[in-house]
RNA sequence: GUGGGAAUAGCUCAGCUGGUUAGAGCACCGGAUUGUGGAUCCGGGGGUCGUGGGUUCAAGUCCCAUUUCCCACCCCA
């Protein structure tokens, strides 16, 4: 029996649900293309190094959440836990630094070995964008504007808010890290166990702690803003000015940090209160060091990723499947004619279906269940006259029309 | 990885302190209606009560283990 249930943290996406899934993905791709982003698809697995080196040796994603295995050739491979590293790798592999600035977007499954929860799966889907080669803050503005427009297009305006922070450049970040650690060291014994652990691995994350005791200590902690270099401060000013100029709402949150090592300067999250603890629906930032760290030419970058399942849970009106025209042959002699007709309609671009068996009532019932827009009844009586009955399934009105007129008349039910 | 809750029909759930053949609503199928769907009425199929052990004359109910889901931590999209 255990073998018949899907692997923990995975699930089947049934037809009704996949409509919403596709809606989220397609909206992302459509809006991204308005901003000049072109879709790229990278492999679902990469050499483990691609992720291990870029995400940070101490990040949880690398240390305990990757699906890593050895293939038959003895290569160490990993199912991608996110796609920025893969896209950066593709950027280098394909020599795309010749085409800067470069805007790429993607969609697809990601894999993390985590304890499942609502909005947190082991196989999940993301859509995302990456912009390479622009070092000015205007790139960050555009990328955030794209995120906002994408979420608006899904009808989520008002249900998500944008939170923004800066980590500064490498220099600022290091200086801040040192100041923060020395401040926190004084309270070491009063910190939660988790945070004492973080003190070594990723002290910035302590800012994000939910522990009551930690929060009190954090209140007195030095602020990132005071450690920014002039250049980093200017960058952040430019970013905020740009967002204000085009009317993108955001809220500064100096506790906002990212878990992955490659971020610098801009970090942002779009969050909702409607999904419990997994409220982050889209997040990203700037990663100027990533490409060079992987061995490529020094290339700045900025991007984000969004969780398709999480967004799917928020989206209220996903588009429905197209309503078919249902062919209802009546009497066995009509079946061959019905088959020919349904085929003809499909080739003309109509969603069309056949009632396979049963009496007229049963076939109409089935047509109703298929949410058919109209039914074409092919009974012996009217067929003898070279006619069919066209029934509007919404109003219940029906008329007998010559078979030759059918295609024309159907255009009303497009 | 840590802590807590849950698992009974396809779905949502009842099933009291253990006691004959485990129920309801919705859904599904059939009939009333062999040329007219959505409504109504009538009938029907469906369950190794997540799985494996144990206690007991007797376990859906109690105990242990295990799997999965949910909530929170952690992490992140």
Which nt is closest to the CA of A214, judged by C1'? B73
ipTM summary value: 0.88
CA of A125 to C1' of B8 (A): 33
CA distances from A18 to A82, A222, A352, A391 (A): 21, 46, 21, 30
User: Nearest residue (Cα to C1') for B29?
Assistant: A362
Using a 7 Å CB cutoff, list residues 237-276 of A near strand B.
258-260, 269, 276
CA of A36 to C1' of B3 (A): 47
CA of A36 to C1' of B5 (A): 48
- What pLDDT does residue A2 have? 38
Which nt is closest to the CA of A365, judged by C1'? B37
Strand duo A76-79 + A102-111: pairing: unpaired
Query: Measured from the CB, is A103 under 7 Å from any atom of strand B?
Result: no
- What pLDDT does residue A1 have? 34
Which nt is closest to the CA of A281, judged by C1'? B77
CA of A321 to C1' of B36 (A): 25
Name the DSSP class of A57. Answer: T
Query: Measured from the CB, is A208 under 7 Å from any atom of strand B?
Result: yes
CA of A1 to C1' of B19 (A): 31
Rounded to 5°, the CA angle A69-A125-A25 comes to 145
Choose among A355, A395, A392: nearest CA to A375: A392
- What pLDDT does residue A332 have? 65
CA of A310 to C1' of B13 (A): 27
Name the DSSP class of A320. Answer: P
Q: Please provide residue A292's backbone torsions phi and psi, each rounded to the nearest 5 degrees.
A: -70, -35
Alpha-carbon gap, residue A322 to A339, rounded angstroms:
20
- What pLDDT does residue A333 have? 63
Contact A360, A330 (CB under 8 A): yes
Contact A287, A301 (CB under 8 A): yes
Q: What's the distance, Cα to Cα, between the start and end of chain A in Å?
A: 46
Query: Measured from the CB, is A179 under 7 Å from any atom of strand B?
Result: no
Total Cβ atoms within 10 A of residue A192: 17
Strands in A99-214 per DSSP E: 102-111, 123-132, 161-166
- What pLDDT does residue A400 have? 94
- What pLDDT does residue A141 have? 98
Which nt is closest to the CA of A59, judged by C1'? B75
Contact A122, A112 (CB under 8 A): yes
* Cβ-based neighbours of A347, under 8 Å, separated by 6 or more: none
Alpha-carbon gap, residue A296 to A14, rounded angstroms:
41
* Dihedral sign (CA A278, A111, A106, A16): negative
Which nt is closest to the CA of A361, judged by C1'? B36
pLDDT in tens, chain A (414 residues): 335 788 899 998 988 889 899 999 999 999 999 999 999 999 999 999 999 988 877 788 887 899 999 999 999 999 999 999 999 999 999 999 999 999 999 999 999 999 998 889 999 999 999 999 999 999 999 999 999 999 999 999 889 999 999 999 988 888 898 999 999 999 888 889 889 988 888 888 898 888 888 888 988 889 888 899 999 999 999 999 999 999 999 999 988 988 777 889 999 999 998 888 888 999 999 999 999 999 999 999 999 999 999 999 998 878 888 899 999 988 766 778 889 999 999 999 999 998 777 788 889 999 999 999 999 999 888 888 999 999 999 999 999 999 999 999 999 988
Stated length of chain A: 414
Contact A285, A269 (CB under 8 A): no
CA of A4 to C1' of B57 (A): 37
Q: In what order do the strands lie in the sheet with A264-271?
A: A38-39, A102-111, A123-132, A301-307, A280-286, A264-271, A161-166, A251-252
């Amino acid at each position: 029996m255990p073998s018949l249930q899907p692997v923990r943290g995975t699930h089947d996406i049934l037809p009704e649900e996949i409509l919403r899934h596709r809606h989220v993905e397609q909206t992302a791709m459509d809006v991204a293309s308005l901003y000049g982003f072109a879709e790229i698809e990278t492999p679902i697995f990469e050499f483990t190094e691609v992720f291990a080196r870029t995400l940070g040796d101490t990040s949880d994603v690398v240390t305990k959440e990757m699906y890593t295995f050895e293939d038959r050739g003895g290569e160490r491979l990993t199912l991608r836990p996110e796609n920025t590293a893969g896209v950066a790798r593709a950027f280098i592999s394909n020599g795309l630094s010749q085409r800067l600035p470069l805007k790429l977007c993607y969609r697809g499954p990601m894999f993390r070995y985590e304890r499942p929860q609502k909005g947190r799966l082991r196989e999940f889907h993301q859509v995302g964008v990456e912009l390479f080669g622009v070092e000015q803050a205007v790139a960050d503005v555009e990328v955030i504007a794209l995120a906002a427009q994408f979420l608006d297009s899904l009808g989520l305006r008002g249900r998500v808010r944008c939170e923004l922070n800066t980590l500064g450049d490498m220099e600022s970040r290091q200086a801040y890290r040192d100041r923060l650690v020395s401040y926190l060291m004084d309270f070491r014994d009063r910190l939660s166990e988790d945070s004492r652990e973080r003190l070594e691995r990723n002290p910035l994350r302590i800012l994000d702690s939910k522990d009551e005791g930690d929060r009190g200590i954090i209140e007195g902690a030095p602020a990132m803003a005071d450690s920014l270099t002039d250049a980093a401060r200017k960058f952040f000013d430019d970013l905020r000015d740009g967002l204000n100029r085009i009317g993108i709402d955001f809220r500064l949150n100096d506790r906002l940090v990212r878990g992955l090592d490659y971020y610098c300067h801009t970090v942002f999250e779009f969050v909702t209160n409607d999904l419990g603890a997994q409220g982050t629906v889209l997040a990203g930032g700037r990663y100027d060091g990533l490409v060079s760290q992987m061995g490529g030419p020094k290339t700045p970058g900025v991007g984000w990723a969004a969780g398709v399942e999480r967004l799917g849970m928020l989206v209220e009106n996903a588009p429905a499947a197209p309503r078919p025209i249902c062919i209802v042959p009546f009497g066995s002699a009509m079946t061959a004619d019905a088959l020919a007709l349904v085929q003809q309609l499909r080739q003309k671009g109509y969603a069309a279906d056949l009632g396979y068996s049963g009496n007229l009532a049963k076939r109409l019932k089935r047509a109703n269940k298929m949410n058919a827009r109209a039914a074409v009844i092919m009974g012996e009586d009217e067929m003898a006259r070279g006619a069919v009955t066209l029934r509007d399934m919404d109003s219940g009105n029906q008329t007998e029309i010559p078979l030759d007129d059918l295609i024309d008349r159907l255009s009303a039910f497009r």
